[in-house]
Chain A
């Protein structure tokens, strides 16, 4: 066993750290992390941040150098996540573009597609979203009904997408639509389009989340248009492209693991400072017991992630065990956030400018519910682990 990192990796960390100190938005490191409220300003802020990352060579570090990446190793990517969590860096507005669409185009795209999209993904000029889910096709993705019908050299798209993160800011959408109803298997007959969001046939309506944020959207397609040049892979073979796209997430849930670790440490600090009956919370025997248990479990989840990462490094690709990491980190994040709310006592229900310590905790609590749903619900993760890790029989109906 070996947890040390190499000299080269440590140099990488220091280089990134120095760059972040120099380039994070003004006041960020001092704790002024307020993002603009208004949509256009918000979008501009995040695009500017991504462009700053691009100019420093810190956007798509895992991409090949030829396409503007750094050819970063898996360990360098892990360090990258750790450092970004450490400084609580602004969100990457083009997450989908950089971690999924870009690598897919590099692998499967035509020369024209690479020429047209890759650079703009890097700079933040073109922000991408993902058009998978529909009102009746969430976890059962093959049930999508949005259709694309050929019309000369064009395709006419109709239907509705939902839970489209950053859809209101996006310029392009990696979208799945049904192009054939004739196949026996329902995941056949789906095609992957690189849809232009800036056209009259595409309308986005933000959905307000329970934590007050507006990150995802409903997207309505009414005779929207796409061209043959905007299809990735072959017609009716979009399912394969989508699966390949999802596998491009090499470090998986890493950023959330490090965020959980940070939240745990922040919770300890809060419990040292927050006083109840004139005594620090951390001296309350019940709180100590629970916190010790959370220590064991959050530490265990992180160590488990490292053990799976070791396997990934040895095999050269991630395995289905990554569902274990996703399930552990999301469920634990939710439980821990709920605990923090409850130990703040009756003041814990105060929110926004009246929050007893920092609205951070109340926001985390409300936001944590998204983690056990987004990216595959906990129930879907359990099916994956049961079937692909333990070899249990497939669910009825599938």
Chain B
């Protein structure tokens, strides 16, 4: 029995934490909210220098050739610092799919640039006022002389303005369910209209993208045409395992914040952490954190070692952690009292991030149903 990250992984976490602490932790996110990109660019460049952008990329494209578990410390630490950007989408969705389904040309074009930190890729899936249901994908790509011509709109694209390339889910033929959908890698061009959407979580600059007769080579299809849906489902396993780690990082920071505050804040002549009403609430937050962490470690381990129960493991980590993150973030505000309700404190940033993730690429009830299906119920 050895259920822990390895010493190397913990040591790497130590470097990252120090690096992000030195950068001011949530200061980077706060400057981003004000529209100042400088701190974020520096931090992302620093993470690339530390090797974070090459962890799960093959050595032949300049990566380290490691796996999901080696990414865990990075995701936890950026979740802790609420670092903006599309590291999640790039590393936990696009990289594994490129490694598995990418053409040699695509791998050479994208993977080495991702590894060096000079390329960011995000996911363009949902459409205005639509759900994640595949039947609702209307953005269409028709074939024309070896090219695809795209027409339609995408919404809620994570940090569209920070990405250089988009993994686009488009309809390439009529069909129901996931039939007739394809994934296309499309590099940002002036042909694509982009508008930043206001988001409750202001550390996220979501984008609405409009495609009007945008032409892209068929060589940009990821995997074969009309089979994009099943590829995307596979990518979601990686993405959700990683997402649960990001949320664990945020939860860990929240429990620390609450604990520290309860030790120093005095009321009625006592530190408030002495009162069971406060103490027990923080303990309940700690239980949520540890359960989430255990589920997310196992999710990433089962993914890396291709265990039979990996779907149930990943979906349960995703579903539990999303809900738990919201609960602990809410408790944190209550424990901080009036000051916790202000913009000055970080409490609100974590709550908003938790709410952002709640329905990101699917709801809790959707993922609960996925658990049920994975269990064969």
Contact = CB atoms under 8 A, between A and B. Distances in A.
Interface of A: 1-3, 5, 75, 78, 268, 272, 282, 288-289, 291-293, 295-297, 299-301, 303-304, 306-307, 309-311, 313, 324, 327-328, 379, 382-383, 385-387, 389-396
27 contacts: A1-B6, A2-B1, A75-B1, A288-B368, A291-B377, A292-B367, A292-B368, A293-B319, A293-B368, A299-B313, A303-B295, A304-B290, A304-B291, A307-B294, A310-B3, A327-B287, A379-B276, A379-B280, A382-B283, A385-B287, A386-B280, A390-B259, A392-B279, A392-B282, A393-B270, A396-B274, A396-B275
Contacts of A311: 4
A386 B287 CA distance: 11
A307 B297 contact: yes
A387 B290 CA distance: 17
Contacts of A288: 368-369, 372, 377
Contacts of A379: 276, 280
Interface in B299-343: 301, 312-313, 316-317, 319-320
Contacts, number: 143
Interface in B1-49: 1-6
B1 A313 contact: yes
Contacts of B93: none
B175 interface: no
Identify the 7 closest CB pairs spanning chains A and B, nearest first. A296-B316, A303-B294, A292-B368, A300-B291, A292-B371, A392-B273, A296-B320
B369 A289 contact: yes
A72 B137 CA distance: 59
B286 A385 contact: yes
Given A3-B3, A292-B319, A299 B283 contact: no
A303 B274 CA distance: 30
Contacts of A392: 259, 262-263, 273-274, 279, 282
Given A1-B297, A386-B283, A307 B3 contact: yes
B260 to A, nearest CB: 10
A389 B286 contact: yes
B189 interface: no
A250 to B, nearest CB: 14
B65 interface: no
Interface of B: 1-6, 69, 255, 259, 262-263, 270-271, 273-276, 279-280, 282-284, 286-287, 290-295, 297-298, 301, 312-313, 316-317, 319-320, 365, 367-369, 371-372, 375, 377
Interface centre among A1, A2, A78 (most CB of B within 10 A): A1
B316 A3 contact: no
A295 B298 CA distance: 14
A1 B279 CA distance: 33
Given A299-B316, A310-B2, A328-B287, A393 B271 contact: yes
Nearest to B274: A393
Interface centre among A5, A382, A386, A389 (most CB of B within 10 A): A386
Contact of B4 (A301, A310, A394): A310
